[in-house]
Amino acid sequence: MLIDYSCRSISNIRPMNIEETLKAHIGKELIFGEKTDLDLDTDLIDLVDSTGVMELTVWIESTFGFLVEIDDITPENFGTIRRLADWIRRNSTQPAE
């Protein structure tokens, strides 16, 4: 199955809104059990399991419109909401035409 990401753009999401978008999605869809107060620097490594990381990857691809390389799924990039938002900003910039 091929997914067309061409219609999605990070330009529709304001810069600080990336963090809030991630926080809402992770808190609602990926963290089960007792509720955790997520902040930008909460360690996600122990909160999101491997299936959740894959679900998050697919969600990032569809929401922000770019493919996530397997080598980019690291604690340095996916370890906190702040790191993840910074990584999304770095990887979603379109080169000037």
- What is the secondary structure of 5-69 as a DSSP string? -TT--GGGS-HHHHHHHHHHHIIIII--SS-----TT---TTTS-HHHHHHHHHHHHHHH-SPPP
Domains of the chain: 14-92 (1.10.1200.10)
Q: What value does the mean pLDDT take over residues 60-86?
A: 96
Q: Give the pLDDT mean for 70-78.
A: 97
Which tens digits make up the pLDDT trace of 38-65? 999 999 998 999 999 999 999 999 999 9
Confidence of residue 32 (pLDDT cuts 50, 70, 90): confident
5-14, 17-26, 30-39, 40-49: segment of lowest average pLDDT: 5-14
Average pLDDT, integer, range 76-96 = 88
